[in-house]
A = this chain, B = another copy of it.
């Protein structure tokens, strides 16, 4: 048996069982801490078996729903399958699964959207309640009974520490060369015992390669052999290329203005095609020996490593397209010294993001003329994904850049609106705003100055006159002239979209 090679401790070997038997250990109403961060390192068998079990119980007329905590989003075999079975009553801290999203937006699932760096400490604080079971994918078990982390670390250290019962999935698909790439820091504590995190460079290693686990808590070990599932890569279109172009030009200018080193400062990059286009573009700039201190490792970063532009990337998870994931698995030896995976309380830690001075680059849903950003709620009421790590990085980075196409839904929606229908990032935390139209450097500007820059540089020309008209009338009619606004109209574009399908009158 292949798994025997990965499970090199006999105590753990004696606990091998089927996913169905493991899922049978979980009962209605449990709180389950799962591994998983974007589509990597999530358990691939037990959640499916649990979904079957839930469906069977529901068919018998019995209630069966669970509370799910993870690192961030996971894959269809976890969030998708369990939501489909109507098996999730509560979910934290991030979700991007379309089936689960629909249930949340239908009001049938409670969802708590959290800063990703805060999940582990808040779980320790105890107010989220008890964690009954942890279901964690790993890449193997050492002879000493330590766990080799998989392609994401997320909150696994914490779930293993605080859960009452543990189910492990050992995934044979994961590269054995993952072993040694992780840096699991065990120095965290709650106040008043918290101490400085001794990391001063993105490539510092401050922990150990493996998770500790209390073997008495391990109730099941399940063998799997299934790929991670991230979104396929689509080549960046003209809009993404234009946004990337503005950002690269700005970074080049800013590096000269501020006297930044040739390696720039550690990059943080949100997921998606636009950030990937930025990464691709960085290969052709004069920057060299760059580093990334970020949440996830994307396709573009592997390209940068191969091009010699990126020296090292620190993150909490891979987030590779299926092709790139296979490529990594086939060529892991070439990358393993340049990649470090850490718990998300470290990868996203505000103390470290500020110390290192990350250049934060994230996407948004809408921004308003005063530079407030909505990253999470469509029309203010429907959640898209969640705030993720964007707050951790945007507030604490050396530079905080937000980007978006200037319109959505084929032009029916302006990404620049009079007032955001929901705010995730306040003006103070949004320093640079970029669309394919242009870039607005908002640093040191007052609200009215920001509005002028954003409308002139970032708004789509089809919406610019409407924004100018709003600003002109607000300048006459507003209660105050610090950040002129018309509450009776500020959200009317959203209302119009909901009524007519377009923000255009």
- Asked if A422 is at the interface (CB within 8 A of a chain B CB), the reply is yes
A487-498 contact mask (Cβ, 8 Å, vs B): 1 or 0: 110111011001
Interface centre among A380, A443, A488 (most CB of B within 10 A): A380
Chain A: how many interface residues by the 8 Å CB criterion? 85
| Complex contact B112–A445 (CB within 8 A) | yes
| Complex contact A481–B381 (CB within 8 A) | yes
Q: With A196-B198, A351-B354 as given contacts, are A483 and B115 in contact (CB-CB < 8 Å)? A: no
A387–B428 Cα distance when bound, in Å, is 9
| Complex contact B190–A357 (CB within 8 A) | yes
- Asked if A104 is at the interface (CB within 8 A of a chain B CB), the reply is yes
Q: With A350-B351, A351-B355 as given contacts, are A197 and B196 in contact (CB-CB < 8 Å)? A: yes
Contact of A111 among B114, B126, B395, B482 (CB under 8 A): B482
A380–B372 Cα distance when bound, in Å, is 13
A196–B488 Cα distance when bound, in Å, is 48
- Asked if A258 is at the interface (CB within 8 A of a chain B CB), the reply is yes
- Asked if A421 is at the interface (CB within 8 A of a chain B CB), the reply is yes
A95-117 contact mask (Cβ, 8 Å, vs B): 1 or 0: 00000000011110011111100
A484–B107 Cα distance when bound, in Å, is 9
A191–B190 Cα distance when bound, in Å, is 27
A415-457 contact mask (Cβ, 8 Å, vs B): 1 or 0: 0000101111010100000000000010111101100000000
Contact of A378 among B125, B395, B480 (CB under 8 A): B480
| Complex contact A107–B481 (CB within 8 A) | yes
From residue A371, how far is it (CB to closest CB) to chain B in Å?
Answer: 12
A13-43 contact mask (Cβ, 8 Å, vs B): 1 or 0: 0000000000000000000000000000000
A202–B196 Cα distance when bound, in Å, is 14
| Complex contact A357–B194 (CB within 8 A) | yes
| Complex contact A381–B478 (CB within 8 A) | yes
Return the chain B residue nearest A445 by Cβ.
Answer: B112
Q: Hey, which chain B residues are within 8 Å of A191, CB to CB?
A: 265, 355-357, 398
| Complex contact B482–A356 (CB within 8 A) | no
Q: Hey, which chain B residues are within 8 Å of A194, CB to CB?
A: 200, 354-357
From residue A502, how far is it (CB to closest CB) to chain B in Å?
Answer: 14
Return the chain B residue nearest A427 by Cβ.
Answer: B113
List A residues 229-265 near B (Cβ within 8 Å). 257-258, 261, 263, 265
From residue A425, how far is it (CB to closest CB) to chain B in Å?
Answer: 8
Q: Hey, which chain B residues are within 8 Å of A396, CB to CB?
A: 350
| Complex contact B127–A196 (CB within 8 A) | no
Contact of A484 among B113, B115, B381, B483 (CB under 8 A): B381
List A residues 190-243 near B (Cβ within 8 Å). 190-192, 194-198, 200-201
Q: Hey, which chain B residues are within 8 Å of A355, CB to CB?
A: 191, 194-196, 351
Return the chain B residue nearest A113 by Cβ.
Answer: B428
Q: Hey, which chain B residues are within 8 Å of A426, CB to CB?
A: 387, 391, 423-424, 426
Q: Hey, which chain B residues are within 8 Å of A379, CB to CB?
A: 479-480, 485, 487
From residue A75, how far is it (CB to closest CB) to chain B in Å?
Answer: 22
| Complex contact B357–A192 (CB within 8 A) | yes
A72-113 contact mask (Cβ, 8 Å, vs B): 1 or 0: 000000000000000000101000000000001111001111
Query: Can you spell out 29 A-B residue pairs with CB atoms less than 8 angstroms apart?
Result: A92-B444, A105-B481, A105-B482, A106-B481, A107-B475, A115-B395, A127-B443, A128-B443, A129-B444, A190-B398, A191-B355, A192-B357, A194-B355, A195-B355, A196-B351, A351-B355, A377-B483, A378-B480, A379-B480, A380-B419, A380-B483, A380-B485, A381-B481, A381-B484, A387-B426, A387-B428, A423-B423, A423-B426, A491-B491
Given A127-B443, A488-B492, list of 6 further CB < 8 A pairs?
Answer: A106-B481, A112-B446, A127-B258, A190-B357, A192-B263, A487-B494
Q: Which residues of A contact B (CB under 8 A)?
A: 90, 92, 104-107, 110-115, 118, 122, 125-129, 190-192, 194-198, 200-201, 257-258, 261, 263, 265, 350-351, 354-357, 372, 377-383, 387, 391, 395-396, 398, 419, 421-424, 426, 428, 441, 443-446, 448-449, 474-475, 478-485, 487-488, 490-492, 494-495, 498
A-B residue pairs, 6 tightest by C-beta: A191-B357, A382-B480, A107-B481, A487-B491, A423-B423, A381-B480
